[in-house]
Amino acid sequence: MTPRRVALDGPADVAGWRSAARRLLAARVPPEAVIWSAGDGGDDLFAQTEPLPPVAPENGAVHVPRAFLDLAETALLHSDPGRFDLGYRLLTRVVARRHLIEDEADPDVARLRGLAKAVRRDKHKMTAFVRFREVATDNGPWFVAWFEPEHHIVEATAPFFVRRFAAMRWTILTPERSAHWDSQELSFSASASRSEAPAEDALEDVWRTYYASIFNPARLKVAAMRSEMPKKYWRNLPEASLIRPLIASAARVTAEMVDAPPPEPKKGQRLMAHNAPTVDRDTDALGRLRDAVDGCRACPLWEPATQAVFGEGPADAAVVVVGEQPGDKEDVAGRPFVGPAGALFDRAAVEAGLERRKVYVTNAVKHFKFEPRGKFRLHKTPAPGEIAACGRWLDQEISTIRPKLVVAMGATAARAVLGKAVKVGEARGHILRRADGAEVLVTVHPSYLLRLPDEARKRQEYARFVDDLRSALPYLDAA
Amino acid sequence: MDIAAKLAILADAAKYDASCSSSGTEKRHSAGVKGGPARGIGSTEGAGICHSYAPDGRCISLLKILLTNACAFDCLYCVNRSSSNVARARFSVEEAVKLTLDFYRRNYIEGLFLSSGIIRSPDYTMEQVVRVAKALRVDHGFRGYIHLKTIPDASPELIAEAGLYADRLSINVELPSETSLKRLAPEKDLRAVRRSMGGLRSRIEEAKADKRAPRFAPAGQSTQMIIGADGSDDRAILGTSANLYGSYRLKRVYYSAFSPIPDASASLPLAAPPLMREHRLYQADWLMRFYGFSVGEITEAGGMLDLAVDPKLAWALRRRDRFPLDVQRASREELLRVPGLGKTVVDRILSARRFRALRVEDLRRMRAPVEKALPFIALADHRPSISLLDGPGLRERLAPRPRQMALAL
């Protein structure tokens, strides 16, 4: 059988390929019986040009996977003369086996992906390495560039420049196609030659100054530069003329820096007015305590944390609520009870009739203890030594405020408040007493409620928690 | 002083900041809607663009400058420290804006990276920096990328304004420990740096969660650590990175090998910058963020990373009992731990193995670095040699031959 020759309208005519391929496919023309010609090599002069099979509506509805079409759209812009052939061959196979396109090890699939990757890279390099030169015209400035792409990408990449430089008027000349934007319309014309592009732009000297100054001669990595900016692009990059001289002088410039005798320090005139401290220094007892906590180094928890999180509330509160330690949110905000557990506490307090603004809230441990895990931090329970080290801050808070009742939420708070290990389940519901005489109510920590997986149990435990908080009411009212 | 002379000073002063990324921000463009007139100038399309590369191998994506290199601080490692004798210059707001736009129109850059020496006060300095960004966005409708250095302890109003105009904000921690910072940069306050990073995180998350909240740095925040200026080992450095990623959701931690600077302080190592160490730290950082490795696993053999082999290979050589791995059945997490297999190749393997029993040739076709992976994996037509896997020669066989990084042209 004499192969059928399909002539496309130029090397970037993917739409033409698509419509012809559909018709050939509907007529069940096998790939080996087609020769694609796009005027860029790969032609077989002996093949016959036959009209394409007519569109056959009943056969026309072949379903082609989107993933294949997207891939072909890019890959067929490659300069490889066999690309349309490969595209049609793979099309016939994909239609027979829909998921073939996901088989990355299939030679045709791998090949087409390889072509697409090269085209994407070329398009990307065009967006990077086009260099406009400004030309004065009667209608104002026009920006003109000369660029030499490796594949047939000018039409496909021009919209990028429209999106970016819509307000400018510009032209990109290439050996194959040229793109023009007059600030209204995008148009294309035939090939151009380098001599049609402007020879210079006054700003290129400034650009070269930048290129030379941003380069660090002490860290030469020429191979890394060349793999990202291959030599073939250099002749159209104004800064490339500096590459060789910069490399050649790098060793000498670095040696001069290294060998220079230690300088006499400049007599520094102070350029910064020392402002009044941005944070107002607190002068009351609690305020002084707050300032002191931030500098606490009594255990190692301070270093990985952002800041110490001190208590918050009235200095004469009748009820002090103590949690375990600041969490992720509290650590960043520098305020207690602002994370999910704090929100749950607020809700329960409202339900219990506890006026939140009358309550002083704080934590047994003032720095967040955690383990970094990717973009998050996993809460870690403070060790007895850390609770003890922080105990003096809590004790001072309590002795300064002198509340009637201290509510300890969870085992850590109970240990800190009472100075010994306490089982929350057993201590709960009784009024205990601290060594300094303050009464103590132990309950669960709200984060315990957040962790309960069973919804019914969660509701039940939440109700008990609200009940516990309710028993603090008389202390507030008495005050 | 003309613009080029100022630029030479203020770009030279900015080059020790490694970050030049222009990726990960919201998508914007300046084309008119439905054939209407253009809106300003510029675009961002998700992936960043490196418009050039310098012979130091670094990407040039942004116009990276200091507004002024005069600085009240005397950080020993810094070329701009107050006691240094380098020439000083200062751009006016208008000059910085014009230069950015002139470069942008010629497609030299994706946008602006603006930092500054600390002058007068944190607020004054921050205000100058913000004014440039504001002029670009408001007066010129600039839709390109903007990265602003944030001055710790600047007022919340200025930070809010910076986040409104910038794509990315960053504060450098500079050194991995408070002790080192105290010694080398006595005016810097690590606690203030951390509080500021925490504040940025809160605002970034707020803006993301609530569409009505004011825009705030959609490309997130990043930071930088200098490598080799102090005695911190790699374990301490990576531990600090893990802490910062977890605490402040940083997009990136940049590692910058300390390199000789003009007019350098005598109390710092004036030697070739530890480029290979910096490279290994980037690899280890990658393993932590995308490959499920912990700092402990990466540094279990000691405080310093192996310079001769990459950290994943080093880990696999220590954990040979975990191999060989059956590629046909292994989980994604396990495959990601095979030397040579990166995320892209692992995804290809997972997709392709549903269709066939994978062979060496298949892996080659999927562009896996087969020679490196083969000793650790089993395939339909390949069983690794146990004597090789357990033998002493494996490391030598896989370690890349020492090669000068600075190969000439």
As a whole number of angstroms, the distance between CA A241 and CA A221 comes to 17
Instruction: Looking at the structure, tell me whether residues A68 and A139 fall in a common domain.
Output: no
Judge whether A273 lies within some domain. no
In this structure, are A153 and A109 located in the same domain?
A: no
Interface confidence, given as ipTM, is 0.95
Q: Which of A83, A90, A156, A165 is nearest to A123 (CA)?
A: A156
Same domain, A302 and A409: yes
The arithmetic mean of pLDDT across residues A18-39, rounded, is: 92
Query: What is the percent of chain B with per-residue pLDDT over 70, rounded to a whole number?
Result: 98
Q: Are A143 and A167 in contact (CB under 8 A)?
A: no
Q: Where residue A431 sits, what CATH number does that domain have?
A: 3.40.470.10
Indicate if A159 and A211 belong to the same structural domain.
Answer: no
Are A25 and A62 in contact, with CB atoms under 8 Å apart?
Answer: yes
Strands B52-53 and B59-60: antiparallel
For every residue of B149-169, DSSP letters joined together read EPPTT--HHHHHHHHHH-SEE
Domains of chain B from N-terminus onward: 3-259 (3.20.20), 320-398 (no CATH)
Residue A161 lies in a domain: yes
**Residue A274, in any domain of the structure:** no
Which residues of chain A neighbour B3 with C-beta distances below 8 Å? 206
- H or E stretch including B274? none
Of A255, A257, A212, A260, nearest to B5 by C-alpha is A212
- Of A237, A257, A277, which marks where a domain is finished? A257
Contact assignment for B264 to A334 by CB distance below 8 Å = no
Q: Note whether A198 contacts B: Cβ–Cβ < 8 A.
A: no
Q: Is residue A262 part of a domain?
A: no
Q: What is the pLDDT of residue A44?
A: 52
Exposed / middle / buried, residue A3 (Cβ in 10 Å: 0-12, 13-18, 19+): middle
User: Hey, which residues 333-362 in chain B have their CB within 8 Å of chain A?
Assistant: 348-349, 351-352, 354-356, 358, 362
- B201 reaches A (C-beta below 8 A): yes
A306-341 pLDDT, tens per residue?
999 999 999 999 999 999 999 999 999 999 999 999
Return all residues near B51 (Cβ < 8 A) that are at least 6 apart: A128, A129, B60, B61, B107, B108, B109, B110
Q: How far is A111 from chain B (nearest CA, A)?
A: 8
pLDDT higher than threshold 90 for residue B173: yes
Please give the DSSP secondary-structure letter assigned to residue B137.
I
* Largest separation between any pair of C-alpha atoms in chain B: 70
Tens digits of residue pLDDT in B14-43: 999 999 899 999 999 999 888 788 899 999
Counting Cα atoms < 13 Å in the Cβ hemisphere of B25 gives 30
- A232/A102 same-domain check: no
Mutate which: A127, A271, A278, A366, vs B, most B CBs within 10 A: A271
pTM: 0.93
Residue A471 domain flag: yes
Average pLDDT, chain A: 91
A304 and A384 in a common domain: yes
Domains: count for chain A: 4
Question: CB of A200 within 8 Å of any CB in chain B?
Answer: no
Q: What is the pLDDT of residue B272?
A: 84
| Whether residue A398 sits in one domain with residue A318 | yes
Residues of A within 8 A of B9 (CB-CB) are 213
- As a residue count, chain A comes to 479
DSSP per-residue letters across A146-190: E---SSS-HHHHHHHHHHHSTTS-EEEE-SS-EEEE-SS-EEEE-
Residue A292 domain boundaries: 285-478
Q: Which of A79, A105, A124 is the last residue of a domain?
A: A124
* Same domain, yes or no: A116 and A163: no
Residue A271 lies in a domain: no
8 Å CB contact of A334 and B198: yes
Contact B49 A372 (CB under 8 A): no
Say whether B358 and A105 touch across the interface (CB within 8 A): yes
A122 close to B (CB below 8 A): no
Q: Can you give the pLDDT at residue A277?
A: 46
For the ranges A190-199, A348-357, B106-115, the one whose mean pLDDT is highest: B106-115
User: Which chain A residues are within 8 Å of B406, Cβ to Cβ?
Assistant: 220-222
Q: Choose the mutation target among B27, B121, B355 for the interface with A, i.e. most A CBs under 10 Å.
A: B355
Measured between alpha carbons, how far is B183 from B173 in angstroms, rounded to an integer? 14
Check CB contact of A130 with chain B, cutoff 8 Å: yes
d(C-alpha B151, C-alpha B127), whole Å: 10
- Asked whether the predicted pLDDT for residue B76 surpasses 60, the reply is yes
* Interface touch B45/A163, C-beta < 8 Å: yes
Runs of H (alpha helix) within A27-153: 57-60, 66-75, 83-96, 107-129
Kindly state whether residue A169 falls inside one of the protein's structural domains. Answer: yes
The b-or-e profile of B89-120 (16+ CB within 10 A means b, else e) is bbbebebbbebbbbbbbbbbbbbbbbbbbbbe
Residues A232 and A139 in one domain: no
Contact B53 A228 (CB under 8 A): yes
Q: Which pLDDT belongs to residue A267?
A: 63
For residue A274, pLDDT over 50 is answered with no
Q: Is the pLDDT of residue A27 over 80?
A: yes
Q: Over the stretch A226-247, which tens digit does the pLDDT of each residue have?
A: 999 999 999 999 999 999 999 9
Q: Is B26 on the interface with A (CB under 8 A)?
A: no
Q: Are residues A22 and A136 in the same domain?
A: no
Same domain, A301 and A429: yes
A404 and A420 share one domain: yes
Task: Find which of A221, A241, A246 to mutate to test the B interface (most B CBs within 10 Å of its CB).
Answer: A221
Unique residue bearing structure tokens 């990576």: B238
Domain end residue (candidates: A98, A124, A150): A124
Residue A266 placed within a domain: no
> What is the C-alpha separation between A418 and A415, in angstroms, rounded?
5
